[in-house]
Structure 1
């Protein structure tokens, strides 16, 4: 396969200085050609970071990762291949195509200086075999350009090694499926037995209504891995590439995608932002890859969705990322982080090349230009889907009122001790506008950054426990019975063995669109919890200026407004502002968190009713409107008042 010179000049000398803008941000997005140009702008800055034989990419940043350095550089090489493969599959060209072809040749040569190395059990190299397998499947020129010996090397590294090793019992199994599928599509040696066994086992992750869990029974984790990062995305790619050989399974995967689409549409707001939730959100615009995969797999959209709506979700999302000017390194490569470089929110598997999993978003480039995904006019989906919807399987209530998309969440948890896992899965609310916050430290409230969480301390405020695991969680209907009424999330959890909390989460309504309710029944059976902290780093907590009455509440105004008020008649809570440590939030590096604080003595049972206010800035919202709804608090529903009175 000959490398194309394309139309863009090399950018190996790209340096983003003061107030500079990445070429990625300067491309008007409207059609397929413009998205192709967007991908080229993403790939170009990688050029100077290839190794001499092109088999590795050492992205800027000397940060370590849980796996070895070679695997880290293989990750830097392989993840951009998602985008290049999609571009080539759709007939596009890129001047650097030869870099990756040469890299595959040298990386799989066990006698070569830049050999990638044999994977061990649960090795990171297995993840990177997935984009390589996909590239071989959709861009046959890569395989055709290899000699017989080089093909044998690829077969050995990509097929034999992964088929003989143990893998995590998660979405990783899909990576082995695609390693085998890439070889199969080119007539190479693969394991049909392993391919079939893996897909059969992955099917046990399915929970119904289109949703798959990222793991077996006993794990409740349905984040973007269940949709755009891995499971649904790869199911759809499989349906496209293996549909002729496996038509029944391909039809089933498409059916699941049709059902899931009506739920997943709720995660993307009118401005193109997705709701950050769960782990690996540093993969950024990969959040939208599910939608391009629908088109690639020729799925018939479920009513009322149209291809104009799907196109709108994808292009608006990419446009929003074009406005995030701080996510780049000075040399123009993606950084670890979200809207800006941030190691606090990173997982221990995020190497400097890890963010290029974002290239999944470019699956739309493999879609023919004659497909209605490209020929339709952009539309918004929010004219035809409900503004409030309960999602049974992920345990979410979705809302789009008051200027942003939000999900209320209960019950999910990562299956292993991830950094900030209580914030990534255990928070009560997640917003497309505000993002979530992670703790940059574990001492006092400023470091814990307890946004959208209930923290309990038994030592005067030095250390805090929050919701991480729920003993039970379910979606109920408040009032009316028989399925009527507003959806409510109820979870039960115990931050200490002798302190138990039942939490009720109620979404906004049309009357008070900027408010939602969080109600907590706290039973402190064995200890005092939640006293005013002795230590607060930003001000003296003993001064009157630091506090307000709970019902009076506290709010912060900057890019829109947020606030919190106590609605219970008794309880003695007070309101204050916590200046969270810098870089704790995904979207804004400086944040202030309005907070209510109170004390529950040993043996007490207390009801806390918190009303949370959020009004983002945005088109048509002037600064003097940020607090326009602050004085109109929501009503506590009658059924909940009755439950509180009898408990």
Structure 2
């Protein structure tokens, strides 16, 4: 194994201490091996005496029992360790911890026995990395006695093959439980394995895309690609290809098709677009690309292995810049760029984030593979800047300095915290992340980034788009448009149009247009832009009024070229006149780049909206813990039918972008297409 920093047993990250993860210069396979060690090493103090459980820092509860939570802590890092061992990158100094843990955890007579799975048991999820590890790392199975192997057979096979499982990507986890046993000549169920594969086929929708569940729901997030379905299809094609050549070939074919879509989710800086649930798995969002190499997939033109390598390496490098995602002990936390329980799902235990180790599938790829021997390349040199994706219902764009997706129609099929923000927002950005509500009282808590909220009680409680009927069309000038129909109240109906940026004229703007019919009640409206950091660069204090002095001398000053318009007042004195401005003039905030919003409709059409800044509650955004959201507010009276034409501006900071240029496109407004003006009756 490549050299890495000294073992981090007892690691304590102080005020200025950098996590070893951030200190590895990533350039080749050996450096990624060293990176993995910095993820695994801090777990050492948190192993139980017999090594069967890992209790990561954080005493937060989840919807399943504490033992299962600690089994997560042990099994999820196996994704990384197994990939390292499979690629011949060992030995890793802690390999025996996991062998000992598997031995004790599967032994019914052990004080640390995991317990057999019941119906819909979280233990079923952790059987997936364990099954994969058994399949690809012979030293694990060989490290067990005959009796201990029998215990593994019973725990991994007999306890799951006759149990009910959720009708989702979970079925893949049982496939890998059986596959791990099969690879070692142990007792397994070929009948169950085949039946699960056949049923998972019902999730397929076409063009390479699978839904995370059966007919009747529309949920195509990272579980459809890197977190589960495509990732595991590719691993299956590698491990079971000789016995099941039909599906192995089919899964590779689907990966070839979907790769040309998934490439649009990763920008030049390595950031992925956060969308949907479980984004706390962080760098697992890039695992699909390493799995392509592991499964020996022939890349579809125009992609090259240099481009695939670039996606993976840039992504890992970006996460190296996210210094706040670690606990003081060096373990991954629940959250995204920083610890955040507001965005967590009810199944996120302290060990849950280690699903991120899927990203290390690239370490199972031989060092002679072109994934490793190629020079890194930029895939954005060869793929379209704007592309409509039929099956997820997205319009993707890489214009104006960030990757963005416009979205309609997706919704989680079961109750989930912040589900409207994770699936129902209009736009998701690689630069700005989405925001979730830390509370449910007033706009500050709802944090309506890239959402339209409506209130019928004067602004205390707000409803947004969650369920909608959507369609994806193309205009006569070949511009994709997303349309959705939704009803926040039974007697309030909205038709929303989402139009991507214009590549040459207004690359920093996208349009969202709402036709609102308030048939049965008065409603207040709040239309939010992206959320942006609400901190001054020099001292971290909240943004002041925008200073537009862009002279060379002033640009060196702390307050130059940052701030808000109108002035950001705060949460409790919004009646202050200077906190508001005309909707046509809009509102913007400038810190790490600029975001803004303007009302482009006439006063007669939209009733005269006003512009302000919503000082979002802290920790509502995934990427920035303190944010503000430029917002347009209005009123629609009972019986009225109005048109809102909203322009959303975004120009992130980045290499080569000067601070005085953040608002360079603010005065160049996007045009409302002629076909839409006709529909609006103009």
Q: TM-score range by the shorter chain?
A: over 0.9
Q: Secondary structure at the match of 2:68?
A: helix
CA distance in 2, matches of 1:42, 1:147: 29
Deviation for aligned residue 1:257? 0.1
1:50 aligns with 2:47: yes
The question of whether the paired residues in 2 share the 8 Å contact of 1:57 and 1:73 is answered with yes
Give the deviation of 1:19 after TM superposition. Answer: 1.7
Aligned pair partner of 2:509 in 505, 515, 539: 515
Match of 1:600 in 2: 636
Partners of 1:581 and 1:11 in 2: CA distance: 35
Alpha-carbon distance in 2 for matches of 1:292, 1:603: 55
Counterpart position of 1:640: 676
TM-superposition CA deviations, 1:496-530 (whole Å, max 9, x none) = 00000000000001210000000000000100001
Give 1:307 deviation, angstroms. 0.1
Residue 531 to residue 285, structure 1, CA distance change in 2 (3 Å): closer
1:360-439 mapped onto 2 (5 Å cutoff): 360-439=358-437
Query: 1:60 aligned to 2:54?
Result: no
Offset at residue 239 of structure 1 (A): 0.1
Report the 3-state secondary structure (helix = DSSP H, G, I; strand = E; otherwise coil) of the residue aligned with 2:589. Answer: strand
1:152 to 139, 150, 153: 150
CA contact (8 A) 1:5 1:95 kept: no
Name which of 72, 76, 94 aligns with 2:73: 76
SS in 2 for 1:619: coil
In structure 1, the partner of 2:589 is 556
Q: Secondary structure at the match of 1:455?
A: strand
1:505 and 2:483 aligned: no
SS in 2 for 1:596: strand
Instruction: Using the TM superposition, give the Cα deviation of residue 324 of structure 1 relative to its aligned residue in structure 2, in angstroms.
Output: 0.2
Report how far residue 532 of structure 1 moved: 8.4
**SS state at 2:317 partner:** helix
SS in 1 for 2:517: strand
Instruction: State the Cα distance separating 1:540 from its structure 2 match.
Output: 2.4
Residue equivalent to 2:524: 530
Do the aligned partners of 1:532 and 1:599 also contact (CA within 8 Å) in 2?
no
1:92 is displaced (CA, Å) by 1.2
Question: For the residues of structure 2 that align with 1:5 and 1:540, how far apart are their CA atoms?
Answer: 58
Answering whether residue 578 of structure 2 is matched by residue 545 of structure 1, we say yes
- Encode CA deviations 1:158-188: one digit per residue, 9 max, x unaligned: 0001101100000000000000000000000
Structure 1 residue 462 displacement after superposition: 0.1
CA contact (8 A) 2:273 2:433 kept: yes
User: Which residue in the other structure is 1:24 paired with?
Assistant: 21
- Shift in Å at residue 248 of structure 1? 1.0
Deviations 1:480-506 (A, max 9, x none): 2xxx52000000000000000000000
- Residues 489 and 505, structure 1, Cα contact 8 Å, conserved in 2: yes
Q: Which residue of 1 aligns with 2:187?
A: 189
- Asked if 1:121 corresponds to 2:119, the answer is yes
RMSD: 1.3
Contact 1:555 1:562 in 2 (8 A): yes
**Structure 1 contact 6–95 (Cα < 8 Å) conserved:** no
Shift of 1:8: 5.0
Q: Which residue of 2 aligns with 1:566?
A: 599
- C-alpha contact 2:501 2:508 (8 A) present in aligned 1: yes
Indicate if the aligned counterparts of 1:539 and 1:546 stay in contact, CA closer than 8 A: no
Structure 2 residues not aligned, in runs of 5+: 528-568
Aligned residues between the structures: 636
How many angstroms apart in 2 are the aligned matches of 1:601 and 1:207?
42
1:131 equivalenced with 2:137 (yes/no): no
Contact 1:477 1:485 in 2 (8 A): yes
Aligned-partner Cα distance in 2 for 1:532–1:145 = 61
Q: Which residue of 1 aligns with 2:539?
A: none
Q: Shift of the alpha carbon at 1:577? A: 0.4
1:10 aligned residue (3, 7, 10): 7
**Residue 619 of structure 1: aligned partner:** 655
- 1:264-275 paired onto structure 2 within 5 Å: 264-275=262-273
The Cα of 1:542 is off from its aligned counterpart by: 2.5
Alpha-carbon offset, residue 10 of structure 1: 2.5
* Partner SS for 2:624: coil
Partner of 1:164: 162
Q: Deviations over 1:226-264 (max 9, x none)?
A: 000000000000000000000011000000000000000
Task: Kindly provide the CA deviation profile for residues 605-647 of structure 1, in whole angstroms up to 9, marking residues without a partner as x.
Answer: 000000000000000111100111100010000000001118x
Distance 1:456 1:352 in 2: 35
- Residue aligning to 2:310: 312
TM-score, with length taken from structure 1: 0.97
Pairwise CA distance, 1:545: 1.0
Q: Where in structure 1 are there 5+ consecutive unaligned residues?
A: none
Give the secondary-structure state (helix, strand or coil) at the position aligned to 2:110: coil
CA distance in 1, matches of 2:188, 2:627: 52
CA distance in 2, matches of 1:537, 1:440: 17
The C-alpha deviation readout for 1:339-378, integer Å capped at 9, x for no partner, is 0000000000000000000000000000000000000000
Q: Alignment partner for residue 462 of structure 1, among 455, 460, 463?
A: 460
CA contact (8 A) 2:36 2:80 kept: yes
Q: After superposition, what is the alpha-carbon deviation per residue over 1:248-289, rounded to whole angstroms, capped at 9, x for unaligned?
A: 110000000000000000000000000000000000000000
User: Structure 1: how far apart are the matches of 2:457 and 2:221?
Assistant: 34
**In the alignment, what sits opposite 1:486?**
479
Match of 1:350 in 2: 348
What is the CA distance between 1:142 and its match in structure 2? 1.0
**Kept in 2: contact 1:336–1:350 (CA 8 A):** yes
**CA 1:583–1:488 in 2, change beyond 3 Å: closer, same or farther?**
same
1:259 is aligned to 257
Distance 1:48 1:226 in 2: 34
